[in-house]
Structures are given as structure tokens and as C-alpha cells.
Amino acid sequence: MIVLPVIARELRASARQPMTYYVRVLGAGAALGACLSFGMDQDFGPNMGGELFGTLHIFVFWAIWIFVPFLAADCISRERRESTLGLLFLTRLRGKDIVIAKGFAHGLRAATLSIAVLPIMAIPLLMGGVSLPVAALSTLINLSALCWALSAGLMASSWTKSRVGALMGAVLFAGLALILMVATTARLAFTVTPISLVNSSDLSFLEWCGETFALLGGNGIKEISSRMGSPNWPSGPLPIGFWRGFTPIKIPFGFIGHVSWMVSELAVFSLLALLLAIWLAGRKTRASWQEKPPSVARLWWAKTFCTPRLWTSLLNRWMQRKLQKNPIGWLEQRTWSGRLVTWGWLAVLISVYSAVLTYPHFFREEDQFHSAMAWMLAGSVALSAAGSFRRERDSGVMELLLVSPVNEWGIIFGRVRGLWAQFLPAFALLLGLWAYLSHLDYGVVGDHHSNSFVFFTSSFLCLPIIGLYYSLRFRNFMSAFISTLLVGLLLPQILPGLLAYILGMLLPGLDLTIPTYFHFTGTSVVVAFQLILTLKCLRSLHHRLQNRTFSFERTAR
């Protein structure tokens, strides 16, 4: 087989990457965390296995959608960047052979992640309450998700040469693949299964897609597991979720059988979708492996939409001022893409808020909406920060900066200020709108709002520092990004509770109630942890820069 040497090379390369092992440990750790959190919430009682299995299914499903496209995103684009793709094409390999090899290797990599999670998945099986059909259903859904997610990653990777472009493409293709997966499942439920599972008079196709989405990646498996034991299932009263759309079928295993049939068909379609993606990605790879000058259309786009046209002298003066004041921060805002992040976020916030304010139920779900926007913005800060020093490290400019009069602290705070300046308009607008709308709604800015303000303000200040540390610490961008999210956002939320839980177990008589000197006591602890972690990262970042203990990937002459 001609693809075997490429697969072997890919597997060997990924075996040498620490990221491969980190992801496995992280996956297993997170699954264990989800399991413990379930236990702390609902106790590991008898017959709770079904519910726990459903929780873990949700976890695995979303882990596949988050990790697989990102891990596969740079596999072909990297070859193109490093000019090794051309060498592969000098052999007898064809485009699709390369994509098959890459797809196989990355599929296997994702499968090892599932194997790492397998021992945790065995816990609910041992607890009882999980039937074989439900386990098979979950496996088929996750297998299908793997095919779609891998397709998204491979497509994104074949489309571009740049790492950032591939990652952004992976997000877009993954979103598209998820929609396609849900729509395919919904369509299969309508027409392809032996009987229609849908009581079509009750629901439109779009609504049914929503219900299918709940089955695939929401509480569907949990619901099926927990209710399968019930004698009148599923024809009895079905209070919530996707059940309301199903045709009542009297025999429980008949119902699960039909759902399984539908999901089996989904798995076959997913496999076909993966094959189609491989074919398309192969064609694209073959067609674009050679370096070509940018096309006329591309140049026109760049000139028309990516070049300053209005008030250019003002922009130049402004950028010169920024350069003089903070050259390291200036690098963040120098390019049109850097400025697009700043003003794009501002435009998104203005557009989204303008749109949702006219939605009649907005004020009922207002807090969740503000929080969702703030989390996304925080994620965007983490993304920018985690990739921030990478370019300097790869190009060797970091070495030049370190022998210039800008010292280590100058480099760190110059870049941190640059990142703050990049996201400040969006954050200020978001928090301002949040405070204003809460005030409109409640008359005052409530405690829970204050808590959120404090947390997100602290996140805005801390994430750039944590992200910079990890951008220097890790060669792999994904490792840096995940670590930034973990240390900057997740750990500060988990650590206080975990610490209190452990202390409570070790010292049963200890009163762990936090004194309520302020309104936002819980948040103050979270923020304190966030600040401690940030200071630790700042110290380590300075230490690494001072001792030059960071890896270079310089382009030699």
C-alpha cells in the first residue's frame, strides 16, 4: 500500500509530540472530573449509571467536536508551509493518498483519546442502568461525530497554507459539519428508517432538527437511559426535551431499535461524508501544492478590502504614535487582521445587541446572553494571547528583541498592553451594555451582575499574561490555547470548590463558609485564584525569557 509509509511517518511524528499525550491525559482527566462532579451533585446511587453514562456521552461528543478538527487542521497546511508537500508529490503519491494517510493517522489519534476515556466510561456500566443498545447508540453517534469532525479538519487543512487560517477554517468547517450531521439525522428520521420516527404534524423540520440535536449531543442518551426502565416508556407522559416529537411506539425496545437503525444509517452516511471530504481535500491538495503568485482577484480583494483607504494619513500618524510608545504592542495591531479583531468584535457586539434587543423574550434570558458573549470574548483573548509570541519565536525575531534595549519586562508588558488595547473597546462596550441593560431591567445592578463584571474584568486583565506564558512555553499552538483556557478560566472556577471539598473531607469539623464581607464573596475567591495563577505565569514567563529557556523554530538561512 502506497499510503503506509506516510501513515507510519505521521504516527511516528505524533508519537514524538508531547501534545498527543497531553490531550489523552487531559481527556481522561476531564472525563474523570465530569464523573466526580456528577457524583458530588447526585451521588453514585444504584441505577444512576444510565444518567452518568448520558453525561459522559455528552462529554465525549463535544470533546470530539472540539479536539478532532483542531488536531487535524494543520496536518496538510503544515506540509505546505514547510515545503514537504511538494516532495511527497514527487513520489507516486496522489493527493487523495496523502489525505487518506493523514486522515487515518489523525483518526487513530482521536481513537486513542477515546481509549483513554474508556476506563471512565466503564464506571457507569459497572454501576448498572446502562443497557447494551444505549451503549451501542452512544458509540455509533460518537463514531459518526468523529467522521464529520475529521472531515472538517481535513477540509480546512487542504484549503490554506497558514496555521491560523487552517484553525479558523476548522472552526467554520466544523460548524458546517455539525449542522450537516444534525440535518442528516433529522432527515433520516423522517424518511429513511423503516417507519417515520417523527410525528410530523407536531413539528416543523427545523424544530425537529433541534430535537435531533438534543438526541445526538444533548440529554437524549441520558433520557433514554433513565426512562428505559419505566413500564410505560415511551408512550407515557414525556415532559421535556426531544420526546415530544417522537411517534409514540408502545414497545420500548422497538423504539430504541428504530432510533438505533436511524443512528446506524447516520454512521454509514457519516462514513460516506468522510470519503467525500477526503476526495475533495485530495483534489484541493493536488491543485494547490505548488507556490503560485496571488491571483488577480485575490490582489483586488486585498487592495479593496484590506488596505486602508480613508483617513490614511490619520491612521499612519496614529500607528506611528503607537509604534513610538510601545513597539512590541504595535506588532499586535499593525496588520489589517489585527485591527479587524478589535473593530470586528466591536461591530459584532453592536450588531448582535441591536438585533437581540428587538427580541421580545430577550430580557427573560438576558444574563445568559451577556455571559455567552463575555465567554466568547474571553475565548478570543485567550486565542490571540496563546498565539502571540509564536511568530517572534518561529521567525527568530525574539532573539533580536532580547538583544535590543527593550528588556524582558518591556517585551512582556509591551505585548500585554498591545493585547489589552486590542480587546479593550469590545470589553468596555460589552460590560457597559451589560450594566446598562441590567439597570434597565432591575433598576439596580444586582450582586450577580457585579460578580460577573468582576470575574470578566479580571479575566480580561489576566488572560493575556497567561496566554503569553503558554505561547512561549509550548511549540504547539493548540497546547498553548487549551492551557490558557484551562489555567485562565477553568482552574480558578474549579480549584476553590475542589480545595473546600478536600478540606471538608480531611477536616470534617472545619467551617468553610466564606465570610461575607463583600457582596461577591464566591467570585472574589475565584478572582483571587485567577490572580495567583496569573502571577505565577508572569513570573515563569519572565524567568523563561531571562534564561532563554524557550524553544526556537527558526527559519535558517
Site residues (vs other proteins, CB under 8 A) = 320, 323-324, 327-328, 330-331, 334-335, 391, 395-397, 399-407, 548, 554-557
Please state the separation of Cα 8 from the chain's center in Å: 28
Q: Which residues pair with 246 in a beta bridge?
A: 198
Q: Could you give the CA distance from residue 24 to residue 44 in angstroms, rounded to a whole number?
A: 25
Cell numbers linked to 289: 501544492
Of 94 and 334, the one with the shorter C-beta distance to other proteins is 334
Confirm if 10 and 102 have CB atoms less than 8 A apart.
yes
Of 151 and 333, the one with the shorter C-beta distance to other proteins is 333
Distances (CA, A) of 14 to 20, 117, 131: 6, 19, 36
Burial of 88 (0-12, 13-18, 19+ CB in 10 A): buried
Q: Could you give the CA distance from residue 151 to residue 173 in angstroms, rounded to a whole number?
A: 8
Q: Mention every residue, 6+ apart, whose C-beta is less than 8 A from residue 537.
A: 465, 466, 468, 469, 470, 487
CB of 476 to other proteins, least distance (A): 21
Of 399 and 447, the one with the shorter C-beta distance to other proteins is 399
CB of 241 to other proteins, least distance (A): 50
CB of 302 to other proteins, least distance (A): 11
Of 244 and 548, the one with the shorter C-beta distance to other proteins is 548
Give the closest residue to 329 by CA, choosing from 401, 426, 396.
401
Q: Could you give the CA distance from residue 59 to residue 141 in angstroms, rounded to a whole number?
A: 13
CB of 294 to other proteins, least distance (A): 11
CB of 397 to other proteins, least distance (A): 5
CB of 416 to other proteins, least distance (A): 17
Of 139 and 395, the one with the shorter C-beta distance to other proteins is 395
Of 257 and 396, the one with the shorter C-beta distance to other proteins is 396
CB of 166 to other proteins, least distance (A): 17
CB of 264 to other proteins, least distance (A): 49
CB of 406 to other proteins, least distance (A): 5
SS3 of 284, please? Answer: helix
The residue type of 133 is: P
Please state the separation of Cα 437 from the chain's center in Å: 29
| Phi and psi based region of residue 455 (left: phi greater than 0; alpha: psi -120 to 50; beta: remaining) | alpha
Q: Could you give the CA distance from residue 496 to residue 509 in angstroms, rounded to a whole number?
A: 18
The dihedral built from the CA positions of residue 339, 375, 170 and 463, taken in this order, carries a sign that is positive
CB of 342 to other proteins, least distance (A): 18
Give the closest residue to 106 by CA, choosing from 49, 62, 146.
146
Q: Mention every residue, 6+ apart, whose C-beta is less than 8 A from residue 144.
A: 181, 263, 266, 267, 269, 270
Q: Could you give the CA distance from residue 534 to residue 458 in angstroms, rounded to a whole number?
A: 10
Burial of 12 (0-12, 13-18, 19+ CB in 10 A): exposed
Give the closest residue to 337 by CA, choosing from 328, 345, 326.
345
Q: Which residues pair with 198 in a beta bridge?
A: 246
CB of 343 to other proteins, least distance (A): 19
Of 290 and 335, the one with the shorter C-beta distance to other proteins is 335
Of 518 and 552, the one with the shorter C-beta distance to other proteins is 552
The residue type of 521 is: T
- Phi, psi angle pair for 268, to nearest 5°: -65, -45
Of 205 and 409, the one with the shorter C-beta distance to other proteins is 409
Of 447 and 553, the one with the shorter C-beta distance to other proteins is 553
The residue type of 314 is: L
Of 240 and 403, the one with the shorter C-beta distance to other proteins is 403
How many residues are present in the chain? 557
Asked whether the bond before 234 is cis by omega within 30 degrees of 0, the reply is: yes
CB of 557 to other proteins, least distance (A): 5
Confirm if 334 and 413 have CB atoms less than 8 A apart.
no
Of 82 and 399, the one with the shorter C-beta distance to other proteins is 399
CB of 405 to other proteins, least distance (A): 5
Of 361 and 557, the one with the shorter C-beta distance to other proteins is 557
